[in-house]
Amino acid sequence: MPEIDIVMVAHNEADSIESVMRSFYKTVSGYARVARIVVAEDGSTDGTKEILTALARELPLHLVLGQHRKGYAGAVRDALCATEAGIVLFVDSDGQYLASDFAGLLAAFKAADMVIGSKIRRRDAYHRILMSRVFHAVTRILFGIRLQDPDCGYRLIRGDLARTFARQCYLLPYSYWTEFTVRMAKASFKIHEVRVNHQPRLSGNSKVYPLRKIPLVVVPQTVGLLKLWAELGRQNLSRREAL
């Protein structure tokens, strides 16, 4: 049985973080020799930090705290770099993913370096779904990667690769996992996708793609994607990812 670090980031998730964390810890503990939780708390103002501090007295929880808001990408990077286990499970802390799907990811992980969840039916606002579809289509064209959901926030990663590639991703602050996935694929690591359930957020609204921020998101995303293509796009994949 492996050692597994469960990684999450949290910004103003006081209404859901405890139930999500307990659910995943209980499930993953049944498959792991040692299970630990690593959470990057990203400047919450709603009591999330206090909830996490209390949970750390009960669960094997390592808190990565910062004085300033880093944003999703910065928090993910810091959390991944704080892991120690041979396998890293990353899952968003908003309750949209189910712990019951973990077994499917773990089964596929035996033949892969990273397993990504692919949402059966995405339960997000329409504008987010539309933006993601366009962005994913452009990513597939630019990089020749035939993955359906390269930005999914539910995935298993080899621990050493999680820590290595975490430090390399800086071009797509609003699509951190897309850049992470592209860099791993271009380095010829084997990536699988597994269908997973997706449900509405347990509370609140998205912190990453609120409707009012769309004009501010599109330009840096487009520029970042083109920079990533200029750096990696001409490389050949010696091992195609399997779907």
Cβ neighbours around 228 below 10 Å, total: 23
Residue 136 maps to a domain: yes
Cα 146 from Cα 136, distance rounded (Å): 10
Residue 238 within a domain: no
Q: What is the structure's pLDDT at 243?
A: 32
Q: Is residue 237 part of a domain?
A: no
Q: Does the residue 163 lie in any domain?
A: yes
Q: How many domains does the chain have?
A: 1
Q: What's the pLDDT score for residue 173? A: 87
* Domain-embedded: residue 239: no
Over the chain (243 residues), the average pLDDT of each successive run of 10 is: 94 92 96 96 90 94 86 94 97 94 97 95 71 85 89 96 96 93 95 93 59 73 92 59 35
Counting DSSP H helices and E strands in the chain, the numbers are 8, 7
**pLDDT (0 to 100) of residue 132:** 79
Domain CATH for 212:
3.90.550.10
Report in angstroms the alpha-carbon separations of 139 from 30, 93, 172.
Answer: 36, 25, 12
* Full domain range(s) for residue 156: 3-232
pLDDT, residue 227, reads 94
Distance CA 137, CA 127 (A): 16
What is the C-alpha end-to-end distance of the chain, expressed in Å? Answer: 25
User: What does the radius of gyration of the chain's CA atoms come to, in whole angstroms?
Assistant: 17
Report the pLDDT value the prediction gives residue 131, as an integer from 0 to 100.
79
